[in-house]
């Protein structure tokens, strides 16, 4: 599609030059709520919509200040029609204290608004060029678990094919934090600068590197964007309650999406705040 302004001008207009510098240097940047164009009221809408989707898909009533103590099962959806509405057989419940929900675009219009946010797509333009597509639309619910998070290496990985050098710019990730995240909340974690190494973490995580892994600490409403080739994982949660996050990934169009957005209704796309961007993102 044709963007209104060159990327350099768009970065300046949206006051994102320093965030572009973060992405070049570290591979990750945190955009505070005040720069996103959203409000805490929007964050609360997204938070409640995510909790409602979690209840719809599991039958369990999650509460932000409570840690689930019963066994939770994801309801399997038998048809594509149901999957494209609210539930999905691709949702999954981790054994170490988290729920991943896919196809969140259909759950509530707020997730569509997060997808078309100009700050998100300007930073993705900076990383991927002017042409990219949406490949995921997920929701995460995480709580403390006796087995910890993703092991002693924090589940470090990069979202790129297992070939080296792993430095091709083909995908970028976006996380909206819907709850405050400090280290003991079990946030996303990352190893700064690893997007420039051209390597995968598998077999390359030394004790010295492991000591440099950082938790991403940010307030609710913050937007976290990072290069898919940067090593990232999940910090263990040690406090009661829940961490809520909504996640999307954008890819260059030569790669197939992780989720199929071809079934999205025209009303959902054309009713967005930026239908042209929405059409591009949804492979129209």
The H-assigned helical ranges of 4-79 are 7-13, 17-25, 40-58
Question: Would you list the domain boundaries of the chain?
Answer: 18-70+86-159+167-281
Residue 78 has a pLDDT of: 40
Residue 179 has a pLDDT of: 97
Per DSSP, 65 falls in state T
- Beta-ladder partners of 176: 223, 246
Residue 70 has a pLDDT of: 72
Residue 124 has a pLDDT of: 96
SS3 140: strand
SS3 113: helix
Q: How many CB atoms lie within 10 A of CB 81?
A: 9
Query: CATH fold of 18-70+86-159+167-281, please?
Result: Jelly Rolls (2.60.120)
Nearest to 217 by CA among 246, 248, 177: 177
Q: How many CB atoms lie within 10 A of CB 58?
A: 20
Residue 113 has a pLDDT of: 94
C-alpha angle with apex 222: 89 to 249, nearest 5 degrees? 40
Tens digit of pLDDT at every position of the chain (284 positions): 789 999 999 999 999 999 999 999 999 999 999 999 999 999 999 999 999 999 999 999 999 999 988 778 887 544 333 444 444 567 888 777 889 999 999 899 999 999 999 999 999 999 999 999 999 999 999 998 776 657 778 889 988 766 555 566 788 999 999 999 999 999 999 999 999 988 889 888 999 999 999 999 999 999 999 999 999 999 889 899 999 999 999 998 876 667 778 778 888 889 998 999 999 998 88
Residue 80 has a pLDDT of: 39
Cβ-Cβ contacts under 8 Å for 273 (sequence gap 6 or more): 113, 116
Residue 66 has a pLDDT of: 94
Cβ-Cβ contacts under 8 Å for 120 (sequence gap 6 or more): 114, 174, 223, 225, 248
């Amino acid at each position: 599609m044709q963007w209104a302004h060159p990327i350099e001008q768009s970065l300046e207009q949206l006051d994102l030059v320093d965030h572009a510098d973060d992405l070049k240097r570290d591979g990750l940047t945190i955009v505070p709520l005040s720069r996103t164009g959203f409000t805490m009221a929007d964050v609360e809408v997204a938070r409640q919509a995510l909790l409602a989707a979690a209840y719809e898909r599991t039958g369990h009533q999650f509460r932000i200040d409570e840690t689930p103590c019963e066994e939770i099962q994801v309801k399997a959806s038998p048809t594509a029609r149901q999957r494209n509405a609210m539930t999905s057989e691709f949702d999954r419940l981790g054994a170490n204290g988290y729920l991943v929900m896919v196809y969140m675009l259909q759950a509530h219009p707020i997730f569509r608004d997060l997808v078309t946010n100009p700050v998100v797509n300007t930073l993705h333009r900076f990383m991927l060029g002017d042409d990219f597509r949406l490949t995921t639309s997920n929701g995460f619910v995480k709580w403390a678990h006796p087995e910890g998070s993703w092991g002693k290496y924090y589940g470090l990985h990069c979202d790129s094919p297992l070939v080296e050098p792993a430095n091709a710019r083909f995908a970028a990730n976006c996380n909206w934090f819907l709850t405050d995240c400090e280290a003991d909340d079990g946030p996303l974690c990352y190893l700064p600068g690893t997007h420039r190494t051209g390597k995968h973490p598998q077999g390359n995580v030394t004790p010295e590197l492991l000591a440099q892994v950082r938790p991403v600490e940010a307030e609710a409403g913050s937007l976290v964007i990072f290069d898919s080739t940067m090593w990232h994982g999940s910090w263990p949660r040690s406090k009661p309650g829940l961490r809520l996050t909504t996640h999307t990934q954008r890819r260059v169009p030569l790669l197939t999406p992780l989720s199929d957005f071809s079934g999205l209704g025209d009303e959902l796309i054309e009713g967005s705040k930026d239908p042209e961007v929405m059409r591009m993102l949804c492979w129209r």
